[in-house]
Amino acid sequence: MITVTDPHRPGHELTYYPGEVTLRLADVVVINKIDSSDFENILAVRENIERVNPNAIVVDAASTISVDNAEAIKGKRVLVVEDGPTLTHGDMKIGAGIVAAKRFGAAEIIDPRPYAVGKIAETFSIYPNIGNLLPAMGYGEEQMRDLQSTIDNTDCDSVIIATPIDLGRVINISKPHTRVAYDLQEIGHPDMEDVLKNLIGKIKGK
């Protein structure tokens, strides 16, 4: 089993389900986002892995970020839309969209809370510590409608979409927008090629 840990949330790998279960069972543990995490957080995750699963192979990795239209960010007042669950019960206040906004030179990250309506406003009420991010809470027609209205209402130049799906396919985003993509980039060795060759070799040897 291969599992992924997030040093932006050190300690969550021991306190959240099913993350703790997968950490304890994993043959391989990836410490992702090393490029954008504090050293102390990376060290804490590494120590937690060693404590609960000392036999696991650890792969260090960065989460490389790209956008399809950097001009929609540079010098612009941007609204950042991130994955909803990551911001709510995932307790995150930063995601790939915020990283992209800073990396590609946004002039300002707009707080969407004054413009939120319906179910989106309700989400901010339940999770007041989300920060200057718009959670994509698209679990039904009402939430999708309220998400679109909140984006329409927000006083911004452009929208950064950092959701796992292409949000522009499911709602109408009338403002200029760009989508963030992110990929795993291993740092040093062992990397995933090393790991997979080893695991496949063990399986074939049985």
Q: According to the 3-state scheme, what is the secondary structure of the chain?
A: CEEEECCCCCCHHHHCCCHHHHHHHCCEEEECCCCCCCHHHHHHHHHHHHHHCCCCEEEEEEEEEEECCHHHCCCCEEEEEEEHHHHCCCCCCCCHHHHHHHHCCCCEECCCHHHCCHHHHHHHHHCCCCCCCEEECCCCHHHHHHHHHHHHHCCCCEEEEECCCCHHHCCCCCCCEEEEEEEEEECCCCCHHHHHHHHHHHHHHC
What's residue 30's pLDDT? 96
What's residue 6's pLDDT? 92
Co-location of 53 and 75 in the same domain: no
For the cut 60, the answer to whether the pLDDT of residue 43 exceeds it is yes
Percent of the chain with pLDDT over 90: 60
Co-location of 159 and 171 in the same domain: yes
Co-location of 75 and 20 in the same domain: no
Co-location of 167 and 191 in the same domain: no
Co-location of 51 and 79 in the same domain: no
- Average pLDDT of 87-109? 82
Residue 128 belongs to domain spanning: 67-182
* Domains: count for the chain: 2
For the cut 90, the answer to whether the pLDDT of residue 63 exceeds it is no
